[in-house]
């Protein structure tokens, strides 16, 4: 198939990182260039960074990956924030700082992450959204190398990556702090791939768990990969299962069990592979997970903030099973029964007992929201904890989950594109990408408002939000310690003890994500998702249409017709003619399998690949604007 000859736009931005100087596409002529449009808050972008590492190593002399950092939040646009993110996530390729989204707009990106492939002559040959494209990229790069080596337009050799000088500190980007029974503090030392036990003075190290090498091995010399959260089990449960602490080992997509007596670690849930198909649970060691970010003991189970699929899961350490507790995997804010709720990169968890009942509080980073989960009022029966397979929960608006009997409520937060630094009544208050929280002695909630560099207070009794501490370096967690607070300042690589001051009142204004809205015409609009399977694959239609499309809107009235789940990659929508705009939520899935190169048929036991992406697209309704919305899942 002859590819369209579209010249790649130039790369423009504020500055370059991980290079000896500025780069242009002309400097990269002769190489296959892979542009990775990312933002440091986005868990799907972090997945792609890990997916690309083997590809970069395999094609190290012909492929140049360029990360184009196009920020979502205001904090991410600050130079020091990007510097820290490149260090934190071990980005080992050149990065273009694109704070005004100039290059993002030039390449018509509509989602984080977006990948664009440019051939050695400077032409765009493919664009794809979301994660899971490693296999297809491998095939495409191999094709381009063969084609351009034969044509004399491929240049082998080292690329332009220049590593930054290594930074040393006792902690590196710590994420969570857990108080142990004897007063010591266990810290997730994320970028060192370890856990550290500190004396109550927060300075003196008792011991470290993990060798410090990135990996997934058990035993007394275990390895982790960016551990994020940890939870202490009740003593009786710990005695029965043989470990004391459950660790959310994020990049390993696993839960690990740590025995404090001898430092032995074992994997207790997860396979080490990222969840692709949306099974709803089963034996813990046979079920893939997706970026567990935090864990907490709640209602007789370990609740897992499964950030990678925007859900809450539950792990039973004695039965050794996992299951979906809440969330459909649709990304956004939607309250109500747990099985219908929408989350957005759930991060920190905290448990509170109110009138004899446990309440699970949590923060959703991508909607800058504080939310809670509790038993449905008036429910007498135990929640259904049976483990049942769930058919593809990511692509369903309502998924059958094991969290029946729970309900979700949003207390602070407005949507995917709204954030800020504003105190006052909760309905108007704003946060910016919070990652942690704790319950204070007076029953209020203390939120690590990470991108605002603050600790905020929410009082459930009054519904008011105030500010407790300011001018912190990306606080990721907060621990209540008598009349003081212990704050995990992740970007400063330290834990700090702060006296709890009187509440402040702050109003630094409201913000919306700066990506420009897509203009669409009111009335009938055609939604078309492009998907071209990689060479050697074909859509697996042996059991019907292998594609599914879910469409919803905020506000719901934006969609007069066309909402819901259907097969196919095209949908006729009818947009309201009495609104200015809103957000379209689009989720797509396509299954392609390795086919016989001679017959084009899919063998019975062929390897199959799931391609999927969620979009939250701000739209503005304008008379005379286009009546088609094209999206690329994988376009050539």
Task: Give the residue, 602 or 309, on which the prediction is more confident.
Answer: 309
* pLDDT tens by residue, 439-478: 999 999 999 999 999 999 999 999 999 999 999 999 999 9
Whether 98 has a pLDDT exceeding 80, the answer reads yes
Beta carbons of 259 and 244 less than 8 angstroms apart: yes
* pLDDT tens by residue, 322-334: 999 999 988 999 9
Q: Which of 52-61, 190-199, 360-369, 396-405 has the lowest mean pLDDT?
A: 396-405
What angle is formed at CA 329 by the lines to CA 327 and CA 335, rounded to 5 degrees?
Answer: 40
At 61 the pLDDT is 96
* pLDDT tens by residue, 525-560: 999 999 988 888 888 777 678 888 989 998 999 999
At 205 the pLDDT is 96
Other Cβ atoms closer than 10 A to 217: 13
* pLDDT tens by residue, 548-593: 898 999 899 999 999 998 999 999 999 998 999 999 999 888 888 8
Whether 397 has a pLDDT exceeding 60, the answer reads no
Rg (CA), the chain: 24
Is CATH 3.40.50 correct for 270-512?
Answer: no
Whether 381 has a pLDDT exceeding 50, the answer reads no
What is the signed CA dihedral for 81, 83, 84, 87, rounded to 10 degrees?
160
Q: What are phi and psi of 157, to 5 degrees?
A: 140, 180
As given in the structure block, the two tokens for residue 605 are 């036991």
Percent of the chain at pLDDT above 70?
A: 92
As given in the structure block, the two tokens for residue 265 are 């670690």
As given in the structure block, the two tokens for residue 533 are 């399977």
**Secondary structure of the chain: what % helix, strand, coil (to 5)?**
15, 45, 45
Q: How confident is the model at residue 403 (pLDDT cuts 50, 70, 90)?
A: low
Residues with Cβ within 8 Å of residue 424, at least 6 apart in sequence = 464, 465, 505, 507
Q: Most confidently modeled of 64-68, 374-378, 537-541, 606-610? A: 64-68
Whether 407 has a pLDDT exceeding 70, the answer reads yes
Whether 629 has a pLDDT exceeding 50, the answer reads yes
Q: How confident is the model at residue 599 (pLDDT cuts 50, 70, 90)?
A: low
- DSSP, collapsed to helix, strand or coil, labels residue 208 as strand
Contacts 24+ apart (CB under 8 A), 268-274: 268/241, 268/243, 268/315, 268/317, 268/320, 269/315, 269/320, 269/322, 272/216, 274/47, 274/308
CA–CA dist 27, 15 (Å, integer)? 16
Whether 390 has a pLDDT exceeding 70, the answer reads no
- The packing angle between helices 134-150 and 43-58, to 10°, is 40
Whether 389 has a pLDDT exceeding 60, the answer reads no
Q: The domain 176-269 is classified under which CATH number: 2.40.10, 2.60.40, 1.10.10, 2.40.30?
A: 2.40.10
* pLDDT tens by residue, 469-517: 999 999 999 999 888 899 999 999 999 998 776 676 777 778 877 778 8
* pLDDT tens by residue, 166-207: 777 899 999 999 999 999 999 999 999 999 999 999 999 999
Which of these, 208, 125, 80, lies nearest to 490 by C-alpha position? 80
At 516 the pLDDT is 83
Task: Give the residue, 425 or 398, on which the prediction is more confident.
Answer: 425
Whether 401 has a pLDDT exceeding 50, the answer reads no
Residue 343 DSSP symbol? B
Architecture label for domain 1-167? 3-Layer(aba) Sandwich (3.40)
Whether 395 has a pLDDT exceeding 50, the answer reads no
Average pLDDT, the chain: 90
Domain ranges within the chain, ordered by starting residue: 1-167, 176-269, 270-512, 517-636
Other Cβ atoms closer than 10 A to 158: 8
């Amino acid at each position: 198939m002859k590819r369209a000859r579209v010249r790649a736009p130039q790369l423009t931005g504020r500055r370059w990182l991980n290079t000896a100087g500025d780069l242009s596409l002309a400097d990269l002529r002769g190489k296959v260039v892979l542009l990775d449009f990312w933002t440091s808050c986005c868990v799907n972008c972090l997945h792609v960074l890990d997916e690309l590492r083997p590809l970069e190593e395999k094609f190290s002399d012909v492929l140049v990956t360029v990360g184009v950092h196009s920020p979502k939040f205001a904090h991410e646009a600050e130079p020091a924030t990007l510097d820290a993110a490149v260090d934190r996530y071990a980005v080992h390729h050149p990065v273009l700082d694109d704070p005004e989204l100039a290059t993002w707009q030039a390449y018509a990106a509509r989602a984080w992450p977006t990948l664009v492939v440019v051939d050695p002559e400077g032409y765009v040959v493919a664009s794809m959204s979301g994660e899971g494209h490693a296999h297809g990229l491998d095939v495409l790069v191999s094709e381009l190398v063969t084609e351009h080596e034969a044509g004399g337009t491929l240049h082998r050799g080292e690329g332009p990556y220049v590593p930054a000088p290594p930074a040393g500190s006792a902690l590196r980007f710590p994420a969570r702090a857990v108080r142990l029974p004897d007063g010591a503090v266990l810290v997730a030392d994320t970028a060192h791939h370890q856990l550290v036990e500190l004396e109550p003075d927060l300075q003196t190290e008792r011991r470290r768990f993990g060798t410090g090498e990135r990996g997934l091995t058990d035993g007394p010399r275990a390895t982790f990969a960016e551990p994020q959260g940890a939870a202490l089990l009740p003593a009786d449960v710990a005695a029965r299962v043989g470990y004391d602490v459950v660790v959310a080992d994020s990049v390993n997509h696993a839960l690990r069990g740590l025995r404090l007596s001898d430092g032995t670690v074992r994997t207790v849930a997860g396979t080490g592979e990222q969840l692709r198909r949306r099974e709803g649970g089963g034996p813990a060691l046979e079920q893939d997970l997706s970026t567990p970010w935090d864990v907490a003991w709640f209602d007789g189970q370990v609740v897992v903030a499964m950030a990678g699929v925007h859900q809450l899961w539950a792990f039973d350490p004695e039965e050794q099973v996992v299951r979906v507790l809440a969330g459909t995997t649709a990304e956004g804010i939607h309250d109500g029964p747990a099985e219908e709720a929408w989350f957005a990169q759930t991060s920190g968890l905290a448990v509170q007992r109110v009138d004899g009942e446990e309440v699970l509080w949590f923060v959703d980073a991508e909607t800058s929201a504080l939310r809670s989960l509790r038993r449905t009022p008036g429910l007498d029966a135990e929640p259904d904890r049976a483990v049942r397979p769930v058919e593809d929960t990511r692509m369903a608006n309502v998924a059958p989950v094991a969290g029946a009997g729970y309900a979700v409520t949003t207390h602070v937060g407005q949507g995917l594109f709204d954030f800020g630094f504003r105190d006052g009544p909760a309905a108007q208050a704003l946060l910016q990408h919070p990652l942690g929280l704790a319950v204070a002695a007076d029953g209020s909630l203390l939120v690590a408002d990470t991108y605002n560099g603050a600790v905020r207070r929410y009082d459930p009794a009054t519904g008011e939000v105030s500010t407790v501490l300011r001018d912190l370096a990306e606080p990721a967690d907060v621990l209540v310690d008598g009349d003081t607070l212990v704050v995990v300042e992740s970007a400063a690589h330290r834990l700090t003890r702060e006296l709890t001051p009187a509440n402040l009142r702050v109003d630094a204004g409201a913000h919306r994500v700066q990506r420009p809205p897509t203009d669409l015409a009111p009335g009938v609009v055609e939604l078309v998702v492009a998907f071209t399977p990689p060479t050697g694959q074909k859509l697996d239609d042996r059991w019907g249409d292998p594609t599914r499309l879910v469409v919803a809107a905020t506000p719901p009235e934006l969609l007069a017709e066309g909402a819901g789940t259907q097969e196919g990659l095209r949908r006729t929508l009818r947009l309201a003619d009495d609104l200015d705009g809103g957000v379209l939520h689009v989720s797509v899935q396509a299954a392609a399998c390795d086919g016989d190169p001679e017959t084009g048929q899919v063998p019975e036991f062929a390897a199959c690949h799931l391609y999927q992406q969620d979009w939250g697209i701000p739209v503005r309704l304008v008379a005379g604007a286009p009546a088609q919305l094209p999206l690329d899942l994988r376009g050539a």
